[in-house]
Chains A and B, each alone.
Chain A
């Protein structure tokens, strides 16, 4: 619409990241470069994923409106690479668990924000046409920040040697939820024909539940010994 509108969307998308960075104390650790490295890893992982998808997954040529359940599931499975990438980032940083998690998640989420939302926002929100989807996109980026923090913490827990036996199952379930969350969302939208706002709300609730669960596990794990 106008530059002002772009400013609105931009603020909505970016300020939570900034606030999180500042308030989580990452700035005091001088973790900026570590975050940038995490972002670079994100880029590398995405490139690998794309190559893999392009090589092994033929383009779906089914009729329009038909949902290719198996194909989408397989594609979502490729997102397991994200977990590996996060683990890679965290294994290269020494420090406390919270610090490692925050650095990996911040770098990862910010790289995604810059790469996949910056350009659409600039091109779309600044155009003459008004559409709510840019505001929605900005909200969505806030949700994905929470999502990546939860995901990084679950990965961190999963890779610990001293993880108690009783934690193994819930952590694995959470991992699976994190990876297949986008796939599940798509399935929901497709099955219940959700509107864009409802879909966003469902996504927020789903992410909230997953991250609350992982927070519970994290708190229990950290303070159990």
Chain B
């Protein structure tokens, strides 16, 4: 047969020269054509964090993925893409995949986190920091569940052959029928982003009554943090703090517009960026104000700095200090006023002071007030969390439903009342003039507006707010600036860029990618198919060779008919 084939080709070449061109030039053109990208399923994946902080690498170091999918139960995982669902996720399985040098890990998250059982959410939340704590060589991706992805997952589960019980024939049949999936990401390798600027915003309300007025600083960081930047919505931490800060700005700006209520305190509001990266925005702001300028509100009479962090849930209120305030200082006054307000108006709230010394040996600072503490400014952080280690502050599970608007507005009221009592020195007035003990300032027209708080939190959680995603042109920053400008004077931006030679923080790109899942079959399947085709062609050959038999039969059948004709 092959001789005959070569005969045909020989004929072709000899008979005409141009034909070779007609046949072979297109063939060559086709040969060099690139492979098409037509995928069975295409979905968006979000890469795990990748950043360097103070020269220390964190998160996954890789972005490229082109391997076959396996479920974590499969025996051999090396150089495979391990797919897990959040329900089945555990640290042991994750570690197993990494230990066997898997090619990649893809974790499928449910579309709606609030449908998950609470214990699984809690467990994952606590794992997030552990996954980030060390650098991971393989790429780790998160995907949101959809029907196609689930079906890929179930097919991957079934395609890992059950060991031991199956016979060889069964395994062979299984390889022929089961589908494999080749997971491919489209993007390039991740690389460091140079010249990334973190933006912070500042605004003020000037007091009245002479020079050198004491200043109260209110601080909240606006960025969010989670295991994957594109999934970090940070509702409670720190959307709640920012919304509270904006509400306080609104309330006090109203008080400061009337002559009778214009107090003798400067109020300085600071919305800091890079809060989850060791408070980079705050650090630079302090340096700018304390070291590089001659006159700044921070340089002279600072009464205290109040940082707002994670205040949207829970019935506890904790004032975190690095040094217990002394009797007679404004700090102590605020502490006392907070206690008074809570005990007289909201007895269900458990208020306490938490004392933790600044540990300079740690890689990261615990709370934002420690940045101020290092610069010897009296500062504390108010939060509903009892410890800075709690996972709620850095989780992708921190989405909108984690903020309870009723509690957030109650906490806002508490802070606003306590601040007002300090600013207007109400406690002494109460004692001397016999005003009621539970005097409330923010009622009726001046009350805390829950809708206002809620709309700010809604807006902040409408998009991921990881520090890597918010550059100076982002809508979050400009809208925040606009909001601050409505209530405050002298709204200014501050930028932090990492030092070129010895960067304090480095961010990496390729955090959001498109992943393709191609349906593939194992090599053994191709071989099997080749055998089947060879057999089929053999049968065809015999059939065509013996076509005369069929012809003869038909002729014999039709012959009598024609005779009678």
For residue A91, CB closer than 8 A to chain B, the reply is: no
Asked if A127 meets B36 with Cβ closer than 8 Å, knowing A19-B537, A19-B540, A223-B558, the reply is yes
B518-A128 in contact (CB<8A)? yes
Q: Which residues B540-565 have CB closer than 8 A to chain A?
A: 540-541, 544-545, 547, 550-551, 554-555, 557-559, 561-562, 565
- Judged by a CB distance under 8 angstroms, whether A180 is at the interface is no
The answer to whether B486 has its CB under 8 Å from any CB of chain A is: no
B38 engages A129 (CB within 8 Å): yes
Known contacts A130-B520, A224-B562; is-contact A8 B5 (Cβ 8 Å): no
Determine if A172 is an interface residue (Cβ-Cβ < 8 Å): no
Q: Indicate whether B441 reaches chain A with its CB closer than 8 angstroms.
A: no
Q: Is B529 an interface residue (CB 8 A)?
A: yes
Please give the number of chain A residues whose Cβ is less than 8 angstroms from any Cβ of chain B in the complex.
Answer: 37
Given contacts A18-B5, A23-B544, A23-B545, contact A8 B35 (CB under 8 A): no
- Cβ-neighbour of A220 out of B8, B35, B561 (below 8 A): B561
Among residues of A, the one whose C-beta sits closest to the C-beta of B525 is A130
A215 contacts the other chain (CB 8 A): yes
Within 8 A of B (CB), among A1-26: 1-2, 4-5, 7-8, 11-12, 15-16, 18-20, 22-24
Interface centre among A8, A119, A126 (most CB of B within 10 A): A8
Let me know if B38 and A127 touch, CB within 8 A. Answer: yes
Q: Collect the chain A residues with CB atoms within 8 Å of residue B518's CB.
A: 127-130
CA of A24 to CA of B4, assembled, Å = 13
Closest chain A residue to B547, Cβ basis: A23
Instruction: State whether A129 touches B40 (Cβ < 8 A).
Output: yes
- Establish whether residues A128 and B562, one from each chain, have CB atoms under 8 Å apart when the complex forms: no
CB contact between A223 and one of B1, B8, B562 (< 8 Å): that residue: B562
Interface of B is mostly: helix
In the assembly, what is the distance between CA of A129 and CA of B37, in Å?
A: 9
| B303-338 interface with A by 8 A CB criterion | none
**Distance A131 CA – B525 CA, assembled complex (angstroms):** 13
| Pair A8/B558 contact, Cβ less than 8 Å | no
Contact of B529 among A8, A27, A122, A215 (CB under 8 A): A8
| Complex CA–CA separation, A3 to B523 (angstroms) | 11
Q: A125-150: which residues lie under 8 A (CB-CB) from chain B?
A: 126-131, 135, 142
In angstroms, how far is the closest chain A Cβ from the Cβ of B68? 11
Given A11-B533, A119-B30, A128-B182, A32 and B521 contact (CB-CB distance below 8 Å) = no
Residues of A within 8 A of B146 (CB): none
Q: Is A191 an interface residue (CB 8 A)?
A: no
Q: Of all chain A residues, which has the CB nearest B184?
A: A128
Q: Is B39 an interface residue (CB 8 A)?
A: yes
Residue of A nearest to B527 (CB): A4
CB-defined contacts of A60 to chain B, threshold 8 Å: none
B530 at the interface (CB under 8 A from A): yes
A123 within 8 A of B: yes
**Shortest Cβ gap from B548 to chain A (Å):** 10
Task: Find chain B residues with CB under 8 A from A192 CB.
Answer: none
Min CB distance, B414 to chain A, in Å?
A: 59
Interface residues of A, Cβ cutoff 8 Å to B: 1-2, 4-5, 7-8, 11-12, 15-16, 18-20, 22-24, 27, 32-33, 119, 122-124, 126-131, 135, 142, 215-216, 219-220, 223-224
